[in-house]
Structure 1
Amino acid sequence: MSSDLGPVVQRALLSGELTRLRREVGRTQDDVAKALDWSVSKVIRIEGGTVGTSTTDLQALLRLYEVSDDGKVEQLTRLAKGTRERGWWASYPIEDQQFRTYLGYEAGASCIRMFHPSLVPGLLQTMDYARVVLRQFVRGANDERIEVLAGLRVERQDKLAERDPVPHRHFILDEAVVRRHVGALTKNGRGIMPAQLRHMVEVVRDGHVTIQIIPFSKGAHFGMKGPFTLLEFDADLGEVLYLEGARGGDLILTGREEQIINYRANFEELEEWTLSQEESSELMLRIADEMGAA
């Protein structure tokens, strides 16, 4: 399993496999704790994926579960080593723990589906656009902190673009997102929002990004409920749902499958309401020209 998945996804894969192996041999978490002279809380943390797993602990578990296949042991050992890596985002001052965990899953996703009703998503933002919205969201932050947080958004984009294979990103945006005139002029006299719109049109040309707009004429739709993101993985891991709110994010893992299925179905329904990719790009360019001429 490639470490390109990142420590959070590898931790989730390992914890899921260790839970499956324990159940296969008919042991409870209490049984494992007693057999290895561990606390039950340690077993819970390992199976919950909240901590990395040392190779020593992994070997003890595999002996207990009677796993002797060399290929399986090697695969799980690579995962265990990957769980203890440091994610690239660890150096950033991220206060929202749910968002920090989300970044770990995003880093290993093979497909990202995202809807936003009012804002250009961070994975599409230019530095200038990011600076403007961050000043509204992070009140009292000095210029240095704003630069760091804006840099995080751009690095997220760069890290995904560097992956092999590059994950597909599909964004559905309400027309309000592209109509709202965010920011004024930059130091070189360019309009922030026209440049942002043109950047989005350029991004889709690499073939790994889709951006589609739901026009105002479609009326009310599910997306008005709020922004959400769905992550899929090539690895043996279910989907992840991330809901954004004013007070922080809410990360929903595969244990709440019904809710994830509901959001996936609604994303597909929203897609039916959108302009095509070509029509969406034409709309963004037209709005950029109108804003630039204002």
Structure 2
Amino acid sequence: MSTPSAAVQRLRLRTELRRARSNAGLTQRQVAVKMEWSPSKLIRIEAGEVAVTVNDLKALLAEYGITERRKTEGLLELARGSRKMPFNEYRDVLGKEFLSFLALESSASIIRGFHFFVVPGLFQTEEYMRALVTGTGQGVSPERLDRMVEARLARQELLEGDEGAKHLVILDESILRRQIGGPGVMRAQLERLADLASHPRITIQIMPFDAGAHPGILGPFTLFEFSEDGMPDSVYLENPRGDSFASNDPEVTGKYIEAFLELEDRALDDNIGAVLRQVSEHVGEGSEDLTLPAVTEEQ
């Protein structure tokens, strides 16, 4: 049996620690006072934002009254394994919330996502990435931009081979119509999506404009499902300003799973590769007022 990823081990550990504190009848503030920590330290540990050292964990377990050797050793192993989180070498250009997202992405067995604004990073071409960063006025230096692109390309290694997570992706039609980086860049990006549509682990659907109001209008979201026993589903939300929210609360994730299933039923799923190639052929034709082919179920 393979060893669970660092992200999975950290998620398991934080779940166990929150349960142990609850069973001990203690609040976060009470524990922080007893441990002589700032309240924010325990909050970050229980949120999985930071790793907990072995010594700190031993002290916590003693505070919670956990003394059984097998249980203690199991939690200590989770703490040791959770410290090697993926993409930590890119902390200079990636925020902690997004690093948590990447940890879930690299550990999940099924990833479901509805995307409303731009092509998801996992599927972007390098030219599209660069045009997106520069076009949104982030004002990054050329060196920092290169570093951001390097991180995103490294992330795409998850798509290599037949092993790994299954990706179920729904793209709003606006993503296909929004020309980023000029006609050449956009054509190459649409061709990239068409190629990915035939990937054995990737399913791409398109939510057409004529679908009207639907749950995805409230904003893009990504759902992570794990194969490990006891690992709860997680949902990640992000708005155009970069604010994010993540939760593994079953009540929250359940609502988004229902929303995704509804979106799946309403989105186009036939000959998506052909549709994407047809749209790409018409990018940049004529005047600046682009007239692209309609996305219909007949295509």
Q: Distance in 1 between matches of 2:116 and 2:37?
A: 46
Return the offset for 1:243: 1.8
**In the alignment, is residue 88 of structure 1 matched against residue 81 of structure 2?**
no
Structure 1 counterpart of 2:180, which letter? V
Counterpart position of 1:103: 102
- CA deviation string 1:118-157 (max 9, x = no partner): 3111111010111111112243223222222222222222
- CA deviation string 1:5-63 (max 9, x = no partner): 234x42221121133244446666678678x8654846555444343222233344556
Return the offset for 1:269: 0.7
Return the offset for 1:288: 1.8
1:54-69 matches, cutoff 5 A? 54-62=53-61, 65-68=65-68
Counterpart position of 1:128: 127
1:121-270 matches, cutoff 5 A? 121-158=120-157, 160-161=158-159, 165-184=163-182, 191-235=184-228, 236-255=230-249, 257-270=250-263
Count of residues in correspondence between the two structures: 283
Change (3 A) 1:19 1:226: closer
3-state secondary structure, aligned to 2:271 = helix
Tell me if the contact between 1:115 and 1:223 (Cα under 8 Å) persists in the aligned partners: yes
Structure 2 counterpart of 1:289, which letter? E
Structure 1 residues not aligned, in runs of 5+:
186-190
Q: Distance in 2 between matches of 1:279 and 1:106?
A: 27
Change (3 A) 1:163 1:103: farther
Bigger shift: 168-177 or 217-226?
217-226
Structure 1 counterpart of 2:212, which letter? G
3-state secondary structure, aligned to 1:205 = coil
3-state secondary structure, aligned to 1:217 = helix
Tell me if the contact between 2:45 and 2:52 (Cα under 8 Å) persists in the aligned partners: yes
- CA deviation string 1:229-280 (max 9, x = no partner): 122222323222222213223223124x43332222111111111111x422
Structure 1 counterpart of 2:244, which letter? D
Counterpart position of 1:188: none
- CA deviation string 1:149-171 (max 9, x = no partner): 2222222221x236995011111
Change (3 A) 1:150 1:179: same
Change (3 A) 1:129 1:51: closer
Q: Distance in 1 between matches of 2:212 and 2:218?
A: 13
Change (3 A) 1:286 1:16: same
Tell me if the contact between 1:131 and 1:150 (Cα under 8 Å) persists in the aligned partners: yes
Tell me if the contact between 2:101 and 2:236 (Cα under 8 Å) persists in the aligned partners: yes
**In the alignment, is residue 288 of structure 1 matched against residue 280 of structure 2?**
yes
Change (3 A) 1:55 1:132: same
TM-score normalised per structure 1: 0.81
3-state secondary structure, aligned to 1:248 = coil
Change (3 A) 1:61 1:117: closer
Bigger shift: 47-56 or 282-291?
47-56
Tell me if the contact between 2:86 and 2:102 (Cα under 8 Å) persists in the aligned partners: no
Change (3 A) 1:203 1:163: closer
- CA deviation string 1:212-245 (max 9, x = no partner): 1112232332222222212222232322222221
TM-score normalised per structure 2: 0.80
Q: Distance in 1 between matches of 2:119 and 2:133?
A: 12
